[in-house]
């Protein structure tokens, strides 16, 4: 089985996290969400070694989360692509969890605010049809259009185990 086959075996979430789960990648992306575009700004804000920053930016450009575009003068800028911008709701959902479970008693280091209204920006809850929060035990996983035979067998087994 070739490398491509292996990558297709993994679920899309796992493939996403293989890129974005890397510690510096998510910090670079956070900076991009907060408006950073220039290499020297990323470097200063993150206190990161230039070679590590280069590698992270390159990976994010390769995965089309950022694009490298000509900036003022001889500089380049790193801009969020549509794919990168679209990660923002997932980032906010991760932040909610991390602020709740991964911070000390001092509370979250950063709060997000809607610029136009001053409202705090928090991830919306996941609700069921009855308007109550939906936990994993209330959800079934079913084969989607792109399910492999192995995934179909695996989900059928799950349904049988928990019937």
Verify binding: residue 59, its own copies, rule CB under 8 A: no
Q: Residue 90 has what DSSP assignment?
A: H
Nearer to its own copies, 33 or 76 (CB): 33
Can you tell me the distance from the alpha carbon of 20 to that of 94, in angstroms, rounded to the nearest whole number? Answer: 12
Can you tell me the distance from the alpha carbon of 76 to that of 39, in angstroms, rounded to the nearest whole number? Answer: 8
What is the phi/psi pair of residue 133, to 5°? -60, 140
Minimum distance between the CB of residue 70 and its own copies, rounded to whole angstroms? 19
Which string of b and e fits 117-142 if b means at least 16 CB within 10 Å?
eeeeeebeeeeeeeeeeeeeeeeeee
Stretch that binds its own copies, among 52-60, 67-75, 126-134 (CB under 8 A): 126-134
Q: What angle do helix axes 50-62 and 23-33 make, rounded to 10 degrees?
A: 80
**Residues in 99-118 that interact with its own copies by CB under 8 A:** 99-104, 106-117
Nearer to its own copies, 49 or 142 (CB): 142
**Residues in 127-146 that interact with its own copies by CB under 8 A:** 127-130, 134-146
Number of residues that bind its own copies (CB under 8 A): 91
Q: Which of 98, 94, 56, 99 is nearest to 78 (CA)?
A: 56
Verify binding: residue 16, its own copies, rule CB under 8 A: yes
Q: Any residues with CB less than 8 A from the CB of 114 and at least 6 apart, and which?
A: 120, 121
Verify binding: residue 34, its own copies, rule CB under 8 A: yes
Minimum distance between the CB of residue 62 and its own copies, rounded to whole angstroms? 13
Minimum distance between the CB of residue 3 and its own copies, rounded to whole angstroms? 14
Verify binding: residue 3, its own copies, rule CB under 8 A: no
**Residues in 60-89 that interact with its own copies by CB under 8 A:** 80, 83, 85-89
Stretch that binds its own copies, among 49-57, 66-74, 121-129 (CB under 8 A): 121-129
Supply 99's token pair: 């602020």
């Amino acid at each position: 089985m070739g490398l491509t086959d292996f990558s297709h075996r993994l679920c899309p979430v796992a493939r996403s996290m293989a890129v974005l789960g890397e510690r510096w990648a998510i910090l670079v992306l956070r900076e991009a969400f907060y408006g950073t575009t220039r290499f020297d700004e990323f470097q200063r804000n993150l206190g990161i070694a230039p070679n590590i920053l280069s590698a992270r930016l390159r990976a994010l450009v390769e995965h089309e989360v950022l694009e490298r575009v000509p900036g003022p003068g001889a500089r380049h800028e790193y801009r969020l692509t549509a794919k990168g911008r679209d990660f923002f709701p997932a980032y906010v959902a991760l932040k909610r969890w991390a602020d709740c479970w991964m911070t000390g008693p001092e509370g979250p280091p950063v709060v997000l605010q809607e610029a136009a209204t001053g409202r705090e920006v928090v991830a919306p809850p996941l609700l069921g049809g009855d308007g109550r929060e939906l936990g994993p035990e209330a959800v079934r996983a079913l084969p989607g259009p792109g399910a492999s035979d192995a995934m179909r067998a695996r989900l059928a087994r799950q349904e049988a185990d928990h019937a």
